[in-house]
Structure 1
Amino acid sequence: MSKPIRIAQVLNRMDSGGIEAVVMNYYRHIDHKQIQFDFYFAEDSTFPQRAELERLGAGIYPIPAYSHPLAYHKALYGAFREHGYKVVHAHLSTMSVFALFAAWRAGVPVRICHNHSTAAWGEGKKTLLKYLLRPFNKLFATAWFACGEKAGRWMYGDRAFEKGKVYVMPNAIDTEKFTFDPMARAQLRQELDIPNSAFVVGHVGRFTYAKNHEFLLHVFKLIKQKRPEAKLLLVGEGELEQQVKNQIKQLGLERAVIFTGAREDVAKLYSSMDVFCLPSRYEGFAIVALEAQVNGLACFFSDRITNEVILRPISGNIQEENVCQLPLAEPERWCEAILESKRQPTHLELRKYDIAICCAQIENFYLKNEERNG
């Protein structure tokens, strides 16, 4: 039996973020007899996936962060030359240019730029850098990927998207994993010291500018005034965590907000919630939005989030949708809508984001390109 082909997957970090979750979802379900992944990521990552990657046979290559460009380039160029990859898949959005340049120099024939995000001007220099680097990815990429239409159009342009030059690789999930679990609800509420009667507002995401915890806390403050027993469950970690904690103290919400940190049982944590909020300032494609809907939660998203993430009922009856999109300028409206909501288990159209179907499609892409350049 021939050995599986190896694909270099280049990520910024291996922590507990959304991009890592997407790549891991695909890796778990891909046919390891035909395809294996080698992971390249910043060496100071927390790397909670280590044991699983080792068990599944992945290649593990910690490298200097791209904030050290010379060392970063040297490490990637050397590895790509040594291993002779036919395919390098960079998940760094606009920062992919640095990994793709190394792949181009190393003679890798298939170089995938994968965009997972968009941008908002509120991040100052970070946003400016995104716009400056965006066009250069086209110079070194042979394939243009995006997590969805909005991210694809932002990165590569409307004309490229409409001509079919952008391959949309959805942020697919294992749908069965996220179905509502009443036993998990009881167990996790007990573990987190949440009374059964409490109204729990949940959020899953890194503490970053994009996720907009600041607005979420203002909404929750209004909810708390009308539902004194309410709790806010924040799942994740990130650079703005202390800033969020300071705001919680200023608002007098210390006893009502629960921080779980990064968790491996996020799929179960959804069951402990009553509603799910995602007031993001921008997103590429929020995988947590799919997960929460599959769980049957009433979901509240900002109008900055692409409607691609809204799952439609199989019945076609829009009254069965459990998603409400709202503007970020009106916390009172969010509060009112949330308090009127309830869990509404619905049979949703999941085929488009089913990991088994999406995995077969990306397997076909990798194998065809490997064969063509073998």
Structure 2
Amino acid sequence: MHKPIHVAQIMGRMMGGGVEATIMNHYRFLDHDQIQFDFIAQDDSDNIPLEAISTAGGHVYTVPSYKNLPKYIEACEKLFKEIQPDIVHSNMNALSVFPLSAAKHAEIPIRIAHSHSTDNPNEFIKTTAKTLLRPFSKIYPTHLVACGSLSAEWLFGKTAVQSGNVHYIRNAIDLQRFVFNRVQRKNLRDSIGVVDGQFVVGQIGRFSAQKNQMLSIEIMQHLIQIIPDAVLVFLGIGDMMNAVKEKVANLGLERHVRFMGLRHDANSWYSAFDALLFPSLYEGLPLTVIEAQAAGLPIISSDHVTEEAFVNKKLITTVALDSSSRVWAQTLANTFSNTYRRTNIDHTTVLQEAGYEIRDSARDMQQWYQQIAA
């Protein structure tokens, strides 16, 4: 009997973020008789979808955090020798140098470095580490992958992109799951005590410096001066969550901010929101922005997000990241005062044509794995 191609996906610390969602989205739509994934996660992960992985026939293995680098590399190499995958596919951006060096020492023939992100000069320590590692990004992989040209150029350089040495895997989604739904809108808004006509701003993503939730709270402080009953809803977890909650309390904004934690019905929340706030310091190609566009949700985004993500430009308003929180608040208020009414208009066709339908993308991924493993 034909054995499926065995791919070890290196996930780092799993916290329910966009990178994990992208890989899991593809995994669900692969033919598991042809391609099978194992997931290598750090033992400090907060959200490993064990049931979804095991149901599809995959396995999860944990290794120490990369913060203890010698132990991390040693554990990866030992694991690769034990499970002998056909392909090691690392999703750790500049940090992929470490698991892929272990994979090379374990004599794994196909090693993929996948760039999902960029960097931000304001995160000095993180950016310095990434800058030091980037020159090594092409030493250990046999194949280079990115979600878009900006993230590809950032990690692998212009020459690799221009010479066609980078394969692209879009941050694709099941588009129909995100289509606007009036019933879901009412039920979710009722669940958080929001009435018809009240302005609900959403932000989805892990709580981290990159996602800039601290700025969101400052924006909210000004927004309620314009729209007094406005509400901000956070979906996600992360290391900075308590600090953000503390800021909300210090500013007396508890009545206007909801923390919903990690939700498995995030697709429905896009129907409940009136606008998506996306003030990220940097991004590769954010899944959340693609999902919001599928739902026809207006997006207020920082100008540090790649334009590649803006497929349906009618839904996008960009604000300079260094603009004041008052400017951000007024921009949000303008979205509301434009009396934008959520409708059942189809927003998915343009996204499918741009390569963001998961069934198409998973088929392409499967064919690519089969091609490089042949």
Normalised to the residue count of structure 1, the TM-score between the two structures is 0.94
Paired letter, 2:329: C
CA distance in 2: counterparts of 1:122 and 1:248, whole angstroms: 23
SS in 1 for 2:122: helix
| Residue 372 of structure 2 corresponds to residue 369 of structure 1 | yes
Write the deviation string for residues 187-207 of structure 1: whole angstroms up to 9, x where unpaired: 112222222332101000111
SS in 2 for 1:61: strand
The one-character-per-residue Cα deviations of 1:269-317 (angstroms, maximum 9, x if unpaired) are 11111111101110111100011111111111111000111123xxxxx
Partner of 2:56 in structure 1? 56
Q: How does 1:291-302 map to 2 (within 5 A)?
A: 291-302=291-302
Structure 2 CA distance for aligned equivalents of residues 86 and 205 of structure 1 = 32
Deviations 1:148-205 (A, max 9, x none): 1111111111121111111121111110011111111111122222223321010001
SS of equivalent to 2:114? strand
1:337 aligns with 2:354: no
**Aligned partner (choices 280, 293, 318) of residue 325 of structure 1:** 318
Q: Which of these residues, 358, 362, 371, is aligned with residue 359 of structure 1?
A: 362
Number of residue pairs the alignment of both structures matches: 364
Partner of 1:209: 209
Q: Distance in 2 between matches of 1:42 and 1:65?
A: 5
What CA distance in whole angstroms lies between the structure 2 residues aligned with 1:322 and 1:123? 29
Counterpart position of 2:351: 350
> Which residue matches 1:218?
218
**Which 5+ residue runs of structure 1 have no aligned equivalent?**
313-317
Residues 89-136 of structure 1: CA deviation (Å, up to 9, x unaligned): 000001101100011001111110011111112112111101101111
Measure, in 2, the Cα distance between the counterparts of 1:327 and 1:343: 26
Name the CA distance, whole Å, in 2 between partners of 1:47 and 1:237.
10
Alpha-carbon distance in structure 2 between the residues aligned to 1:31 and 1:354: 16
Identity of aligned residues (%): 35
Change in Cα spacing, 1:234 to 1:49, as seen in structure 2 (3 Å) is same
Matching residue's letter, 2:17 = G
**Alignment match, 2:232:** 232
Aligned-residue RMSD, C-alpha: 1.5
Preserved CA contact (<8 Å) 1:86 1:108: yes
Matches within 5 A, 1:49-88: 49-88=49-88
Kept in 2, the 8 Å contact 1:297–1:343? The answer is no
Comparing 131-140 with 72-81, which one deviates more in the overlay? 72-81
Partner of 2:290: 290
Distance 2:70 2:3 in 1: 33
* Structure 1 CA distance for aligned equivalents of residues 3 and 141 of structure 2: 27
- Alignment check: 8 A CA contact 1:14 1:49 kept: no
Unaligned runs of 5+ residues in structure 2 are none
Corresponding residue number in structure 2 for 1:244: 244
Residue 17 (str. 1) matches residue 10 (str. 2): no
1:304 maps to 304
CA distance in 2, matches of 1:28, 1:291: 17
Amino acid of the structure 2 residue aligned with 1:339: A
**How many Å separate the matches in 1 of 2:56 and 2:34?**
13
